[in-house]
Every structure is written in structure tokens, then in C-alpha cells.
């Protein structure tokens, strides 16, 4: 059984991976391992219950991506918060970027 923090980490990595596919990031350093893809989708459905506040996401980004400068951590944190709460806006913007390439 995964702990709450394990679930949060899977959500952060999986969400960054999804956002990278929409062109928000030039590269993705971590990926959800194949055995956890189904778990990611389940966690994503329950993201509002699993992630209580933005501080949790911020700490996880710092832990999982220690090479990011603080400005980039803040940008990723803000984007993940928007992705958690406002999917339509984030996807629409990402799709526009893809279509313009």
C-alpha cells in the first residue's frame, strides 16, 4: 500500500510528464514507471483529497528535482497548482502551443 506522500510524488511526476507532452517543459527528468501508470490515473482522480495544499507540492518538487533553481521550482509549482485545479485552462493553453509549433 502506498503512503500519502508516495501518492503525492507519483502525482507530481506523472503530472509533470503530462505537462511536458503538452510542451510546457523542454525535457522531463523523471517518468512514472509503467507499473505505476494505472496508479497515477487513480491518484489523479483523487488528487484533491491526496494533495491538501501547495506547500506539499513545493516540497516534493524540491526533493525530486534538486537541480532546479528556485525560480523554476516556483514556476513548476504554480503550473502544477493550476493543473490540479483548472485542467481545461492548462490543457487549452498547452494545445495552443502544440498547434503553433
The predicted pLDDT at position 73 comes to: 92
The predicted pLDDT at position 33 comes to: 82
Q: What is the per-residue pLDDT across 12-57, written as a single tens digit (0 to 9) for each? A: 999 999 888 888 877 667 777 888 889 999 999 999 999 988 899 9
Sequence ranges of the domains in the chain: 4-100
Q: What is the per-residue pLDDT across 61-97, written as a single tens digit (0 to 9) for each? A: 999 999 999 999 999 999 999 999 988 778 777 777 6
Per-residue burial over 8-38, b if 16 or more Cβ lie within 10 Å, else e, is bbbbbbbbbbbbbebbbbeeeeeebeeebee
E runs forming strands in the chain: none
Amino acid at each position: 500500500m502506498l503512503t500519502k506522500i508516495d501518492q503525492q510524488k507519483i502525482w507530481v511526476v506523472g503530472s509533470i510528464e503530462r505537462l511536458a507532452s503538452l510542451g510546457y517543459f523542454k525535457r522531463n527528468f523523471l517518468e512514472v514507471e509503467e507499473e505505476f501508470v494505472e496508479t497515477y490515473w487513480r491518484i489523479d482522480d483523487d488528487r484533491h483529497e491526496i494533495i491538501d495544499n501547495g506547500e506539499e507540492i513545493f516540497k516534493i518538487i524540491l526533493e525530486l528535482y534538486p537541480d532546479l533553481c528556485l525560480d523554476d521550482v516556483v514556476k513548476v509549482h504554480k503550473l502544477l497548482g493550476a493543473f490540479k485545479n483548472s485542467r481545461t485552462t492548462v490543457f487549452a493553453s498547452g494545445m495552443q502551443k502544440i498547434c503553433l509549433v
